Structure 1
């Protein structure tokens, strides 16, 4: 009997030790969350730099509404453009990347471009710059406000409107809240941006 009891006690002791070892071993195993950062590739962060100005642009924070667009490549092309520099340096943010609304009809009716939206939340205003990935260059720029030349075209828009400056290829964007010009631009250049860039 004693021998049988001793055998059961030893088996119980061995089983208890085995369970304790398993429990301690489980506590020493790294959880997936602990090492998750080692396996995650961080999103590219572009740094726009000019002189003493340095502006980080995190691509993971930019909504992409065109899934075949290479955002890294698009931003690489765009950040060499004067208009992107003016907008970023004056507090505008890159708000989205999406398929362009028009085609390069005169060149190739089937070819599209990528529209990059810059947004100023304080002004509730957007400015779009086309990027041609195939040609690796920025194209036309435009503001997203309605065109209005005067009362004969109907009521004045509530917030903003744009009008072509007589005898030029320049658009002026008028801010009705503050009764001032917010921006002057043409398809390739920003000439004025409220409050401090360029001359109205």
Structure 2
């Protein structure tokens, strides 16, 4: 009888140790999502400032925001390869300092009262550690609820011929599009 009781105690103890020791640490993903939220707010704030200063959503991109002096001075603007439009404008991406998340804004050709925002977090190891959760949570909470936008989890890179983002992505690639209405 003592052998049976001690065996049960040992098994229960081992299970408790196993379940508590290998519990996922959510502090990294929580911190990364908080940073992503602040970046969403900042990008939308840039757009609001641009509109209030007389800018138009029909030609919005990070190059225009930079020319208008709206972006932070330590943000890098990078032209997307092979996207020089007929007006000579480059479609551009940007990143925030100390972040691997890439942002791209383009006009919404279907609705002039909105813009499209591509969020590429595929290079951010913290967010990609739980890619499906990160993409879904960001789309629902930041795009839809916070910015009152439309979340497109299948959004993908810019296609110059279509003057739009593609739709060949999936819910775990770390890339999505948010359509934000103003």
The interval holding the TM-score normalised by the smaller chain is under 0.3
Higher relative contact order (CA 8 A, sep 6+): 2
Larger Rg computed on CA atoms: 1
Name the one with the larger strand percent.
1
